[in-house]
Structure 1
């Protein structure tokens, strides 16, 4: 009996908590209007008229507003400095501020961090970005570090998944996850249209998370209520319930639909294939197939099973039944890949305007911030809507590989944090999409 109890205690999953997170709020001087961006790309002198017209069209239809942010160097006419030094400086500016604020807000010293994971898809210098953080903050020599690169816009949840696995092995640990992207590295100076799209939709941003499996942290995990810049303590905690990862890379079309390569002139860029939307839909569908049994109510699963049985066994000509995920989750954080992407996800998932609004608004306000976008959406929800105790939050991200990843969190306390990134008066674009339906502002 004693041996059985010991085996159970060793094998059971340790709960993993999200204690805190913050998103990067750039300086107002880094806001880049559509006109400013158009002037900047014309000043480079390398784009043909047809390419400029195409980029103008993409920019105007992307769903990205005129107050999203670009790194300092991309504001300086006429020619951009795309040197390694400038790219490293951009990453330092974002990552250092995120980590410093996370430590300060949670009264932590760098030596109290046990695990560090940094993900940035297109920029991978030597030493790594995780080593850069260790050096800056003087973290202890036995810290466990990982640096994830080349994993696209879904890498933030890959980092969360990695930390979850590490926290099952190492009890009583704290982990920091930093998700960001390097916009300077993403600049493409050629005339291949499929490779010029990323320049139009990606913008500066990042997020830092504090995760833990410490029992003491589970008891004291907190939420901060931000009101006019004043911080007051109140309870807040998310528990990680599920992470589901799917990878379509075995199929050539999926593998190559987001692909970094040289164009005919030898200029390196990120090519987005026309098959991207279809591949993304298939990847998300496969992810939902694996996630559904873990989260859907029994009646939704029963309806789906009956539909599948009628179609496959009885050969009945019926449309595929799409389970109602609105019954499984209270809040949705969909990756802000672009206006068309969000509209496709809204239709495919049958989301209500209330559920898709935070993602659309985040896209307008901050653009596509790659792997950190789902955390901007959660910050938007916490600020504009609020999250009740017991509410379930679904984060869905997808990107190169091709991968689709999901994470499900449960709020252990009511959350109505006032994130600076979504507070007036800095936030001037709320009227563009209108207020969030059902917002508690």
Structure 2
């Protein structure tokens, strides 16, 4: 009996020791930023107003109205006169970009940034354990991570990741990846390419239904030119993704009293509305929670003036909170996923950060993704003017909010020209740069009144109507003149996409118990499809979307009016593997 008691006591002590060790090990798992570096291009890559005009004038397919629209868009975008551009565009080679140009650009950005980072931290490249590179639209072979490892002769056992096509939220995705790796491997050094703070939490959401997936996508137009297609549903999709993200993030960072206050007010508002209008549709509630009770500074994605204004208004932020984001956009433009670190550099240059302050970073990207993370400042006296110049004190928030880049240099935007030939239009456009239009200035009101009085006295305003001699007993009324429609601004700014493509046909896969049984037993996938799609269109849509061959398609109209499609795969494909690939299992 005594022997068994000793064994139980030893086992209990070991269990308690193990649990205590795991608790402290879990508690002390933190991810710290020792230093970060932002790329600053050379002065010969600056896009001043003159260079922008030269780039636009090289496109001979644009008319005067298109030129005016481009300049107005730039003038209201929030960009300054000292942003940067790629060398091939400045040199006039944008129509035929090559992979050599892309490699040269990436080498300049990555290696200049990493050289400065290693010099500032004193850490040798051979001590790096994890390397993460994220570049959305350029993914060569060998990868950019291999190129970096070769350049700095990093060790063979390094863990490297090459992320691509993650859009403007790639930086937050990389930070979240490194944090998760640190939880499995302790005391490691990592480089997040482009990236003295402690990471409190990181949250990512991805809403991948059809409307969200296609609202921001990289495609080719009818002439084969690549570009980004942004649809009208983008603001609604971004708001939904951001809302879903905040539902997970806010309970982690806000104090308990703020969450209780918000819950009580939300329940009271819901009960009041239900009592007054029991059958009325429920309107979306406004964002009335106080974020500043848990966050001191905000790093928003500097994707454009409209994005900044929209997020700032929805979160209830003042102009002081939006100033760093506006000024990062004004000075460097939309730098995609790395823009958040330029916003943070502006805060450091302005000496805003103090020990214990919490910084919220918000990134939005295609897919559609919304990623956020919260950093805690670990020490006072953070100041850095390597990227944001020493003259940062002269950069006022008014410049970032309303940035009249071309308004002072090109006042001819207010003029109205009537020019027949596009060649003459381009020549006039080139000649009238900097000309101030005074033709619309109103005359003196007193002089106009005196002139009108003289005209009345002289009888100049009264004209005798000439008599018309008629020689016929019938009257002829000419037809009303009908001119061809020639709107000033076209109604459709982009070619319409196919109304019934694969994204529209396949709405979403069913994950019910009966659908899962079909997958396991009959090698059949079940989808909810568009009511207008027939079996052939469904078969083609499945092939285009998932690159699989189907043996047979059966359809069924459900009682609620939706259409269900049973897609049986050929023996070469396993429905379980396909379902796992598309993420429904």
Q: Which residue does the alignment assign to 1:195?
A: none
Query: How far off its partner does 1:81 sit?
Result: 4.6
Partner of residue 115 from structure 1, selected from 115, 121, 130: 130
- In structure 2, the partner of 1:241 is 200
Q: Which runs of 4+ in 1 moved over 6 A?
A: none
Contact kept, 8 Å, 1:308 with 1:320, in 2: the verdict is no
Aligned equivalent of 1:169, options 151, 168, 184? 184
Q: Which residue of 2 aligns with 1:261?
A: 219
Deviates more, 1:59-68 or 1:276-285: 276-285
Residues 323 and 397, structure 2, Cα contact 8 Å, conserved in 1: no
2:198 and 2:377 in contact (8 A); partners too: yes
Native 8 Å contact 2:125 2:153 kept in 1: yes
Match of 2:377 among 397, 411, 417: 411
**1:149 matched to which residue of 2?**
164
Q: What's the offset of the Cα at 1:434?
A: 6.1
Summarize the Cα distance change of 1:167–1:261 in structure 2 as closer, same or farther, 3 Å threshold: same
Q: Are the counterparts in 2 of residues 44 and 80 from structure 1 also a CA contact under 8 Å?
A: no
Residues 63, 363 of structure 1: 8 Å contact kept = yes
Query: Residue 365 and residue 79 in structure 1: after superposition, are their counterparts in 2 closer, same or farther (change >3 A)?
Result: closer
Summarize the Cα distance change of 1:355–1:260 in structure 2 as closer, same or farther, 3 Å threshold.
Answer: same
Return closer, same or farther for 1:6/1:327 CA change in 2, 3 Å cut-off.
closer
User: CA offset at residue 300 of structure 1?
Assistant: 2.1
1:93 counterpart = 2:51: no
C-alpha deviation, 1:259, in angstroms = 0.6
Q: Is the 8 A contact 1:395 1:406 kept in 2?
A: yes
Compute the RMSD of aligned alpha carbons. 2.2
**Among 316, 325, 331, the residue aligned to 2:297:** 331
Q: Deviations along 1:172-212, whole A, 9 cap, x unmatched? A: 1100001xxxxxxxxxxxxxxxxxxxxxxxxxxxx2x3xxx
8 Å contact from structure 1 (residues 156, 371) kept in 2: yes
Structure 2 unpaired stretches of 5+: 1-15, 277-282, 402-585
Secondary structure of 2:236's counterpart equals helix
CA distance in 2, matches of 1:129, 1:429: 38
**Normalized against structure 2, the TM-score is what?**
0.61
Distance 1:349 1:248, change over 3 A: same
Q: String of CA shifts for 1:253-312, please: whole Å, max 9, x gaps.
A: 111111111212222211111221222122112111111111112232122212332344
- For 1:246 and 1:422, locate their aligned partners in 2 and report how far apart those are by CA, in whole Å: 32
TM-superposed CA distance for 1:13, in Å, is 5.8
- Structure 2 match to 1:193: none
Q: Name 1:281's counterpart in structure 2.
A: 239
**Other structure's SS at 1:70 match:** coil
Aligned to 1:379: 345
Structure with the bigger percentage of strand: 1
Which residue of 2 is the match for residue 355 of structure 1? 321
Partner of 1:433: 398
Cα distance in 1 for residues equivalent to 2:170 and 2:149? 21
Bigger mean CA deviation after superposition, 257-266 or 40-49: 40-49
1:104 aligns with 119
CA 1:137/1:281 → structure 2, altered by over 3 Å: closer, same or farther? same
Counting only pairs closer than 5 Å after superposition, residues 151-230 of structure 1 correspond to structure 2 as 151-178=166-193, 207=194, 209=195
The answer (yes or no) to whether the contact 2:198–2:375 under 8 Å persists in 1 is yes
The answer for the alignment partner of 1:27 in structure 2 is 42
Match of 2:311 in 1: 345
Contact 1:386 1:415 in 2 (8 A): no
Q: Does 1:36 align with 2:51?
A: yes
| Residues 246 and 415 of structure 1, relative CA distance in 2, 3 Å threshold | farther
* C-alpha contact 2:215 2:229 (8 A) present in aligned 1: yes
Aligned residues of 2:78 and 2:400 also touching (Cα < 8 A): no
Taking a change above 3 Å as real, the CA distance of residues 163 and 153 of structure 1, as seen in their structure-2 partners, is: same
On the 8 A contact 2:31/2:182 being kept in 1, the answer is yes
CA contact (8 A) 2:143 2:162 kept: yes
Aligned to 1:213: none
Decide whether aligned partners of structure 1 residues 320 and 77 sit closer, same or farther in structure 2, where only a CA change above 3 A counts: closer
Match for residue 130 of structure 1? 145
CA contact (8 A) 1:44 1:78 kept: no
Q: Structure 1 length normalisation: TM-score?
A: 0.81
1:20 aligned counterpart, secondary structure:
coil
User: What corresponds to 1:389 in structure 2?
Assistant: 355
Give the CA deviation at 1:33.
1.7
2: CA distance, partners of 1:406 / 1:40: 36
- Give the CA deviation at 1:316: 5.5
CA contact (8 A) 1:43 1:78 kept: no
Contact 1:73–1:80 (CA under 8 A) maintained in structure 2: no
Residue in 2 that maps onto 1:308 = 266
- Paired residues of 1:394 and 1:407 also in contact (CA < 8 A): yes
Aligned to 2:251, which of 293, 306, 313? 293
Please state whether the residue corresponding to 2:191 is helix, strand or coil: strand
Q: Which runs of 5+ in 1 are unaligned?
A: 179-206, 210-236, 437-441
Matched, 1:365 2:324: no
Distance 1:47 1:381, change over 3 A: same
Residue 47 (structure 1) shift: 4.5
Shift in Å, 1:381: 0.3
| Greater length-normalized contact order (CA 8 Å, ≥ 6 residues apart) | 1
